[in-house]
Amino acid sequence: MGRVTRGDAIVLALTALATVALDLVQAVILGLIVAGVPASRAIALFFAAVHRFLLELSEVPAGRDHLRHHGMLPDHPGHPAATVPPRNP
């Protein structure tokens, strides 16, 4: 069996203590809220990595053409990739 992360152990301990100390419904709600904090952080890190990847891809001419073809190139004029004209084939 794999190792349990520190965050998962904290969530489990808090939920177990809340189950004993509070009503079961309140303990489940508390467990969902406590578990949601690390999950939302992981999701935010994922989307930040995707954003960085798309910015780097937009700096490569072939990547910029691909993004423009699929309508994924930013439209706002302040973005560096939006000011570069498409390549001629």
- 89 three-state secondary structure: coil
Let me know if residue 1 belongs to a domain.
no
The residue with tokens 């349990």 is: 4
- Name, in order, each residue with C-beta under 8 angstroms of 75's C-beta and a sequence gap of 6 or more: 82
pLDDT digits (tens, 9 = 90+) for 26-35: 888 888 888 8
Let me know if residue 89 belongs to a domain.
no
Per the structure, the complete domain to which residue 67 belongs is given by 6-83
Upper half-sphere CA count for residue 46 (Cβ side, 13 Å): 6
For the segment 52-66, the average pLDDT, to the nearest whole number, is: 72
What is the per-residue DSSP string for 54-75? HHHHHHSHHHHHHHHHTT-S--
Statement: residue 82 has pLDDT above 60: no
Per the structure, the count of domains in the chain is 1
Let me know if residue 52 belongs to a domain.
yes
Statement: residue 37 has pLDDT above 70: yes
Let me know if residue 44 belongs to a domain.
yes
For 74, phi and psi rounded to 5 degrees? -60, 140
Contact 48, 40 (CB under 8 A): no
Let me know if residue 64 belongs to a domain.
yes
Split at pLDDT 50, 70, 90, the class of 12 is: confident
